[in-house]
Structure 1
Amino acid sequence: MKIVIVGASGNIGSALVREISSSGHEIVGVARRVPEVTPRAEHLASVRWESADIATSDLDPLVAGADVVVHLAWLFQPSHDPDLTWASNAVGTRRLLDAAGRQGVPAVIVSSSVAAYSPGQGTPVDEDWPTDGPSSAAYAREKAYVERLLDVFELEHPDTRVVRVRPAFVFQRSAATAQRRLFGGPLLPGRLLDPKLIPMLPVPTGLQMQTVHSGDLARALAAAIERPVRGAFNITTDDVLDRDALAEVFSAKALDVPAGVVRHALGAAWRLHLVPAPGNLFDALMRLPVMSAERAKAELDWQPQHTGREALEAFLEGVRHGAGSTMPPLDPKSSGPLRSREFGTGIGSRP
Structure 2
Amino acid sequence: MTDTTRSALPRRIVVTGASGNVGTALLRRLAAHDPRPDIVAIARRIPPARDPYAGARWCSVDLADPDAAARLRPVMAGADAVVHLAWGFQPSHRRDYLGRVALDGTRAVTTAAAGAGVAHIVHMSSGAVYSRGSYGREVDETWSTDGVPSCTYSVDKVRAERFLDEFETDPGAPLLTRFRPGFIGQFVAGNGLERYVLPELVPSAITDHLPVLPMDRSLAVPAVHSDDVADAIVAALEQRVAGPFNLASPAPVRADDFAEPFGCPIVPLPHRVLSIVAEATWRLRLQPVEGGWIDLAYNTPLLDCTRAARELGWTPHHTGPDAWAETVRGMRSRAGTDSPVLHPRTARQRMAALVERGPIDHRIPS
What TM-score does the superposition give when structure 2 sets the normalisation length?
0.88
Q: Which runs of 5+ in 2 are unaligned?
A: 1-10
- The residue number in structure 2 matching 1:52 is 61
User: What is the SS of the residue equivalent to 1:101?
Assistant: helix
Where 1:311 maps in the other structure, the secondary structure is: helix
Aligned equivalent of 1:175:
189
Structure 1 residue aligned with 2:326, among 302, 310, 314?
314
Q: What is the alpha-carbon distance in structure 2 between the residues aligned to residue 25 and residue 218 of structure 1?
A: 15
How much has 1:53 moved relative to structure 2? 1.5
After the TM superposition, list the runs of 4 or more consecutive aligned residues in structure 1 that deviate by more than 6 angstroms.
none
**The residue matched to 1:37 in structure 2 has which SS?**
coil
Structure 1: which 5+ runs fail to align? none
The answer (yes or no) to whether the contact 1:270–1:278 under 8 Å persists in 2 is yes
Matched, 1:347 2:364: yes
Question: In 2, distance between residues paired with 1:241 and 1:22?
Answer: 30
Distance between the aligned counterparts of 1:248 and 1:223, measured in 2? 33
Whether the aligned pair in 2 keeps the contact of 1:216 and 1:306 (CA below 8 Å) is yes
- Per the alignment, residue 151 of structure 2 pairs with 137
2:87 aligns to what? 74
What secondary structure sits across from 2:354 in the alignment?
coil
Equivalences for 1:180-259 in 2 at 5 Å?
Answer: 180-194=194-208, 197-198=209-210, 200-259=212-271
Identity %: 38
Tell whether the 8 Å contact from 1:180 to 1:186 is kept in structure 2 after alignment: no
1:61 is aligned to 74
1:161 partner amino acid: L
Q: Which amino acid aligns with 1:346?
A: R
SS of the equivalent of 2:176 reads: strand
Q: Distance in 2 between matches of 1:157 and 1:333?
A: 47
Q: Is 2:83 aligned against 1:83?
A: no
- Counterpart Cα distance in 2 of 1:120 and 1:336: 40
Distance 2:113 2:171 in 1: 10
Q: 1:183 to 1:99 in 2, by over 3 A?
A: same
Mapped partners of 2:262, 2:45: distance in 1: 35
From 110, 113, 116, the counterpart of 2:129: 116
CA distance in 2, matches of 1:283, 1:186: 24
Give the drift of 1:55: 2.2
Match of 1:128 in 2: 142
Counterpart Cα distance in 2 of 1:297 and 1:234: 10
Q: Does structure 2 conserve the Cα–Cα contact (< 8 Å) formed by 1:9 and 1:328?
A: yes
Question: Aligned equivalents of 1:280 and 1:246: distance in 2?
Answer: 19
Aligned length, in residue pairs: 344
Q: Distance in 1 between matches of 2:112 and 2:61?
A: 13
Aligned mate of 2:298, from 254, 261, 286: 286
Residue 106 (structure 2) aligns with? 93
Q: Offset at 1:206? A: 2.4
Structure 2 residue matching 1:156: 3-state secondary structure: coil
Assess if the C-alpha contact under 8 Å between 2:222 and 2:301 holds in 1: no
Q: What residue is the counterpart of 1:11 in the other structure?
A: 21
Q: Contact 1:117–1:289 at 8 Å: present in 2 too?
A: yes
Contact 2:261 2:329 in 1 (8 A): no
Q: TM-score by structure 1 length?
A: 0.92
| Residues 147-196 of structure 1 deviation map (CA, whole Å, 9 limit, x = unaligned) | 111111110145521000111111111111111111233344343333xx
Task: Tell me if the contact between 2:167 and 2:173 (Cα under 8 Å) persists in the aligned partners.
Answer: no
Q: Which residue pairs with 2:314 in the alignment?
A: 302
Letter in 2 for 1:201: L
Structure 2 SS opposite 1:217: helix
